[in-house]
Chain A
Amino acid sequence: MKFGIFYEISVPRPWSRQAEKKVYDNALEQVKLADELGFEYVWAVEHHFLEEYSHCSAPEVFLTACAMVTKRIRVGHGIVVCLPPVNNPVRIAERRATMDIVSGGRLDVGTGRSGTWVEMGAFGVNPDDTKKMWDEVVHCLPKMWTQEHFSYEGRYWSLPPRVVIPKPYQEPHPPLWVAVTSPGTEVDAGERGLGCLGLTFGSVAQQEERGKTYRKLIKNCEPVGEFVNEHISALNFLYCHQDNAEGVRTGQRFASAFGYLAAMLLSARDVYPTTAYKTAGLLPGLRQDPKKGSVPKPQSASEGPRVPESITIGDPDRVEKALRRWESAGVDTVNFILNAAETVPQAEVLASMRLFAKEVMPRFQRGPIVRPSTVEVAAVAAGGR
C-alpha cells in the first residue's frame, strides 16, 4: 500500500492575508516533511469560491512550489476541473506538461467535473453536461501530450490543427486518474483505463463493491491514454498519536471541522435536480449518521467519541487496523487529509506524520516508487476520438 497527502487548503474565518499565507506555508512544510518521510504523493484540489473549505483555486502553482522544495514525492493535481467553460483543455495540457517538466516527471493528473453549484453556477456550466464535457476532455489530453499536431472538433470544445507545447517529461505522458465520488464513476474509470481517485468517505463495504467493478472493467478497457493506470486510492483523515484517546479526539476535531465547512456549500444536487449527480459528492458522507457513516461528527462530552473503525485516527495500532480494512477492500493507495481549518496546531500535525511514518508505514509492504502499471496500447489516430 502507498500513502499520500491531500490538500483542500481550508482557511477559517476571520480571514487575513497573513492567515492564507500561513495555511500555505504550513502545507509546504508538511509536504517537505512528507517527502523526507516516504509519503509517495501530494495531491491538491482545484476549487473555486468554496469559502473557508478550500482556498485552492490555483493548485498548479502550489504543486509546482511543492515540487521545488522536494526531491521524490509525486505531485498530483487532484483534480483538475475538465470542463471547458472552467479550463480550456489546451491550457490544461500546457500547464500540466510544464509542471511535469519542472518537477522532473513527478506529475500525476487527476481529472474530474466538479460537484458544487457554487462553481458551476459561476462558470455557466449546466450540471447535466459535465460528464459529457469531462469525457471529451479526458480523451483529448493524452493526444495533446503525445501527438505533434492535434486538432479536435467536439460538442463542447474544438481546436484547429495546432502543436500543443511543451510535451510532458514523462514518456508517454503522466498517469491519469479520475475523481470517483458519484456512484458509477468507477465504471467510467474502469472503461477508460484511468486510476480511481477516491474523494469521498464512503464505507469500506461500498468501496469493495466499487473496486470489484472497476478491476473487472479495466481488464477490457479502451484506455484514453497510452497506458492503463490501474489503481484504487481512497481518501482518509490522518492523526496519529501514541495515546489512542488523544489521537481519536484530535483527529475527530479536525475531521468534524472539515465536514462542517463542506456542508455550507450548495452542491449541484441540492438545487439542480439532475440524474447527472446521483449524490452530492463529498457531502452525503459528511451529513450522515456517524454510526452508519465514516466521518466523525461533533459529539457531546458525555457521549464520548464515536468514530468509525475505517477512519485513520488514533494510536499506531488503531491506524494500522483501519488501513488494513481499506487494504482488504482492494485499495492500494490511501491519501490523507492532515488538518482542516488549522484546527490542529502545525507542530502536532508534523508529529503525527512522523509517528505514522515511523510506526505504521513499515508495517505495510512498500515497493519502490514506480509509475503506475503501464500497458502499452495502440496509438490513436490524430484528430481526436
Chain B
Amino acid sequence: MPVLGTLDIRKWAEGGIAVYAGKDDESWVLKNTELLSLSIEIQPQARTLLPPGMHPSIPLCMVFSIARYPDTPVGPFTLAQGMIVGRIGVHPRGFALKSLVDSETARRELAARWGFPVSPGEAKIWTQYDRVRAEVRADGEVALACELLDRGPIEGSDIESLASANLAYSRAEDKLVLIQVEPQYEYHKAERGRPRLLSFDQAVWRTAGQVHFAQGIAATYAVSDMTLPPPRYIIDPERPSSQMPQPAA
C-alpha cells in the first residue's frame, strides 16, 4: 500500500485555513493570466506535510506557482502558491500550503468559493531576455524569490497543469474538507526553462523546516486565459478517496 501523508489536519487548521462557503455554480474566467511555475524535488520527510487522505508523489516534489491576473471578475490581483505534490487516489494533486494574494476582495472570494488558504502578500513577475523572475513578499519581507532560466518556447499543450487540493473548514458540513480545484488553461504562449530558487521562507509557507530541496525539475512561464470552475470534488482529508486492493494474506 502506498505511503500516506501524516499531517495533523486539526493542528494545521488552527494555524489558519479558509472557511468554505459551499457550492457555487459560477466559474471565473481570468484573461491574459501570466503564470510562472517551478517544480522542484524535495526530501521525502516533507510527506509529513500531506494530509492522511493523500499519497506523496514518487519522488516527492513541490510546485510554486506565481500568477498575475490582470482581468478578473474582482479586478486585477496576484496569487502565489506553494504546493506539495501528491495523489488523491490515483490523481495528481498539489496540497496547497499557502496562497498569498494582494487583493482583499480576491482573498475573500478565493477562500469562500475554492477554499484557498489565503493570506495577504504581493507577487511580482519580471520577464527578461534570458529569464523570468518572480518575487513574493509577505509583511514586506521576501517569502519567495525564484527564476526560470534559459527560456525556450514550448507548446501550451505540453504543460500538465496540476490541480490543487485546498484544506478548508466547510461551514455547511461543519468539518474540515479537502477541496479539489482544477483550473483549465487556454494558452497563448508557453515557455520552459530551468528552475532556480533564490529565497524561500519556511515560516511563511508553513513548512516548519520540513522542506529540504533536492533538485530542480523544470520551470514554465505561460500566458493564458484561465478558467476556475466550481469545485467538482470535496473529500475527506483524513481518508484516501480510494484504496489499493490489499495483498493476499
| Interface contact A343-B154, CB-CB below 8 Å | no
- Asked if B1 is at the interface (CB within 8 A of a chain A CB), the reply is yes
- Please report the C-alpha to C-alpha distance between residue A303 and residue B2 in the assembled complex, in whole angstroms: 25
The one of B56, B57, B245 that contacts A254, using a Cβ cutoff of 8 Å: B245
- Please report the C-alpha to C-alpha distance between residue A275 and residue B91 in the assembled complex, in whole angstroms: 22
| Interface contact A287-B245, CB-CB below 8 Å | no
Name the interface residues of B190-249: CB closer than 8 Å to any CB of A: 190, 192, 215, 217-218, 220, 242-249
The verdict on A264 contacting B57 (CB below 8 Å), with A257-B244, A257-B245, A345-B248 known, is yes
Residues of B within 8 A of A253 (CB): 245
- Asked if A12 is at the interface (CB within 8 A of a chain B CB), the reply is yes
- Please report the C-alpha to C-alpha distance between residue A270 and residue B160 in the assembled complex, in whole angstroms: 6
| Interface contact A265-B245, CB-CB below 8 Å | no
The verdict on A264 contacting B218 (CB below 8 Å), with A254-B245, A298-B243, A342-B247 known, is no
| Interface contact B90-A266, CB-CB below 8 Å | no
| Interface contact A273-B218, CB-CB below 8 Å | yes
- Asked if B104 is at the interface (CB within 8 A of a chain A CB), the reply is no
- Asked if B25 is at the interface (CB within 8 A of a chain A CB), the reply is no
- Please report the C-alpha to C-alpha distance between residue A303 and residue B92 in the assembled complex, in whole angstroms: 25
| Interface contact A13-B2, CB-CB below 8 Å | yes
| Interface contact B218-A271, CB-CB below 8 Å | yes
Per the CB 8 Å criterion, the residue count for chain B at the interface is: 36
Residues of B within 8 A of A275 (CB): 154-155, 158
| Interface contact A260-B90, CB-CB below 8 Å | yes
| Interface contact A266-B247, CB-CB below 8 Å | no
Q: Mark B140-177, 1 if CB is under 8 A from A, else 0.
A: 00000000000000110011100000000000000000
The one of A118, A260, A273 that contacts B58, using a Cβ cutoff of 8 Å: A118
- Asked if A157 is at the interface (CB within 8 A of a chain B CB), the reply is no
- Report the nearest A residue to B56, measured CB to CB: A264
The one of A271, A343, A348 that contacts B39, using a Cβ cutoff of 8 Å: A271
The verdict on A12 contacting B1 (CB below 8 Å), with A275-B155, A343-B245 known, is yes
Pick 27 A–B contacts, CB within 8 A, sort by A: A49-B58, A49-B59, A51-B2, A52-B2, A117-B59, A118-B58, A121-B41, A253-B245, A254-B245, A256-B244, A257-B245, A259-B90, A263-B87, A263-B90, A264-B55, A264-B87, A266-B59, A270-B57, A271-B39, A273-B154, A273-B190, A286-B90, A287-B90, A298-B242, A298-B243, A342-B247, A343-B248
Chain B interface residues (CB < 8 Å from chain A):
1-3, 39, 41, 55-59, 61, 85, 87, 89-92, 154-155, 158-160, 190, 192, 215, 217-218, 220, 242-249
Chain A interface residues (CB < 8 Å from chain B):
12-13, 49-52, 117-118, 121, 253-254, 256-257, 259-261, 263-266, 269-275, 280, 286-287, 298, 341-346, 348
7 other contacts beyond A51-B58, A260-B2, A273-B154, with CB at 8 A cut-off? A12-B244, A49-B58, A51-B2, A256-B245, A257-B247, A265-B58, A271-B218
